[in-house]
Amino acid sequence: MADPRRLPVLGALACVVVLGAALGSTGTTGSTGIGAQVPAVSQAPVSALSSSWFCAGARAEPGASDSGWLTFDNVGTSAVDATVRLVTPQGYAGTMGERVPAGGTLTVPERLINPPDGTPAHPKGTPGPWVGALVTLFGGKASVSQVVTTAHGSAAQPCASEAAGKWYFATGTTVRNARDEISLLNPYTVDAIADLSFTTDRGPAQPPADQGVVVPARGLAVLDLGAQAQLGLMQHVAVTVKARTGQIVAFETEIATTPPAGAPPLGTTGAVDAVVPVAGITLTLGATQASTDWWWPEGADGPGLNESYDVYNPGPRPARLSLILVSGGAAGGAGGSDQLTVGAYGTAVVPTNGQPWALPDISYSTELESTNGVPVVAERSLAAAAPSPYRGLGALLGQAQAAKTWLLGTDPTLSARPSLAQVWLEVSDPGLFPASVSVEGISATGPVELPGTRSFEVAAGQRAGLQLPIAVLGRATVVTSSVPILLEEDSYSMLPKVGMNLAPAVELSSAQA
């Protein structure tokens, strides 16, 4: 079946600059690279004696609406031992040992084991509690991702490889068919205290319940945003998490159920009580800092594919921004630019569907650039419904750091239903030189060729995509480039139970390239 969202891997160039009232002013695309360096999720070098990974945003019981799985991928030629500590907001903790085979993968359910006294970890017949995972790998060659599964699809994200004092989320929603949860995980042995602030449809908010939140030592705190009066029934909620003491890790889990018949979808002009237009789930690791430049290797809209770019300015100065859409192509190019101002502590939602500057039915990469040097946080949101053949929700924080070597982790939901999904590797080359990109699998003896894949070229300042063959879906993949690139893996399914997922890659250290 032809994919209605795709352009051929290398097609004609189109460059459109948006976020203004009119086109035609002069300017150039940011083809010389990316700006402020925001730390990527990265794997420790081979020589490391150990590494730590932090995961949250799932529940701990199979059959719960959002049960979680940990996936380990080992790019080395020796097995790696791991300890996994599962923690809940109720104070329960359990530890287990695992071994990740050389050049292999391991999938572990985030399933609580009852305490020694026999007391159940959660009441019988009720959904399992929220769970966080503190993982130690005894070696630098492996990485950890998390998959959250629901009746409306699944979402996969790399786990965090570092904690931080601040975290940002550009978009969330608490409308009547959606639930928005923020999970705060503390990997250290001293309690952390966090304050949360929000920008909503009605302006800024700092609910008392979200101030002075105690995140226990080596423990977890979870906040249901929609349960609070100041945040309930909001179409858009942006979040800043700031630790007063200590450092933490923050994830956002957004789950939407089937919308009521006839209800207006989000983005409908003048709509009252709008809803998320399709059921699905997104899992997002927050940004640790704002940036003046964000990139997405792939963007697309068209019939049934509703795309938007959600921008959050967490600082005290207004930000002026340009959003640039560039289709794949061998030719370089520049376009006009116009500006949008996002006020201090403000937000903006920029849909592409139906806009005169959009590129419907064409795949493109996207750059969001601050033209006055004020950093922001931005996410791409995508909802797939009829008449598109695909179903589900996707969200992806922009990227602000390029690298030559990336790891795309194992996703067991894809390998279980390979014929029901399309999976694409999406590459953007933000620099001045073309990229030669190779795709390989992992094995106990080193990188191996994946059947049905090939190397390909990406022109300087351009993008390209490669569809993965069914035979390799769900396998860990190493992508290597001759120059620094940006990379994501996007999966699309025709079954709502499989859904859509937009996932970043894990940067491999140069010592492993």
pLDDT tens for residues 408-427? 888 777 766 656 678 899 99
Mean pLDDT of the chain: 83
Helix (H, G, I), strand (E, B) or coil at 471: helix
Buried b (16+ CB within 10 A) or exposed e, 148-165: bbbebbbbbbbbbbebbe
Nearest to 367 by CA among 40, 27, 39: 27
pLDDT above 90 covers a percentage of the chain that reads 55
Choices 2.60.40.420, 2.30.30.100, 2.60.290.11, 3.40.640.10: CATH for 51-112+128-160+167-185+208-264: 2.60.290.11
pLDDT at 9: 34
Which residues, 6 or more positions from 27, have their beta carbon under 8 angstroms from its beta carbon?
17, 322, 334, 335, 336, 337
pLDDT at 10: 32
Lowest mean pLDDT, pick from 186-195, 469-478, 487-496: 469-478
Strands 506-507 and 403-408: antiparallel
pLDDT at 13: 35
Is residue 75 scored above 80 in pLDDT?
A: yes
Confidence of residue 478 (pLDDT cuts 50, 70, 90): very high
* Cβ-based neighbour number of residue 171 at 10 Å: 28
pLDDT at 63: 58
The stretch 433-445 carries a mean pLDDT of 93
Helix (H, G, I), strand (E, B) or coil at 289: coil
* Cβ-based neighbour number of residue 440 at 10 Å: 18
Total H helices, total E strands in the chain: 1, 35
Alpha helix (H) residue ranges in 326-411: none
In angstroms, rounded to a whole number, what is the distance separating the alpha carbons of residues 189 and 170? 30
Confidence of residue 374 (pLDDT cuts 50, 70, 90): very high
Q: What share of the chain is helix, strand, coil (3-state, %, to 5)?
A: 5, 45, 50
Higher pLDDT, 412 or 5: 412
In angstroms, rounded to a whole number, what is the distance separating the alpha carbons of residues 51 and 214? 26
In angstroms, rounded to a whole number, what is the distance separating the alpha carbons of residues 46 and 466? 28
Render pLDDT for 77-124 as a digit per residue (tens, 0 to 9).
Answer: 899 999 999 999 988 888 999 999 999 999 999 987 554 444 444 444
Confidence of residue 509 (pLDDT cuts 50, 70, 90): low
pLDDT at 106: 93
pLDDT at 363: 84
Confidence of residue 326 (pLDDT cuts 50, 70, 90): confident
Is residue 131 scored above 60 in pLDDT?
A: yes
Is residue 125 scored above 60 in pLDDT?
A: no
Strands 237-245 and 166-169: antiparallel
How is residue 370 written in tokens? 């601050």
Domain boundaries, the chain: 51-112+128-160+167-185+208-264
pLDDT at 415: 64
In angstroms, rounded to a whole number, what is the distance separating the alpha carbons of residues 50 and 42? 13
Is residue 220 scored above 60 in pLDDT?
A: yes
pLDDT at 249: 97
Bridge partners, residue 95, by sequence: 85
Nearest to 220 by CA among 171, 165, 182: 182
pTM of the entire predicted model: 0.89
How is residue 411 written in tokens? 């996703």
Nearest to 460 by CA among 442, 483, 477: 483
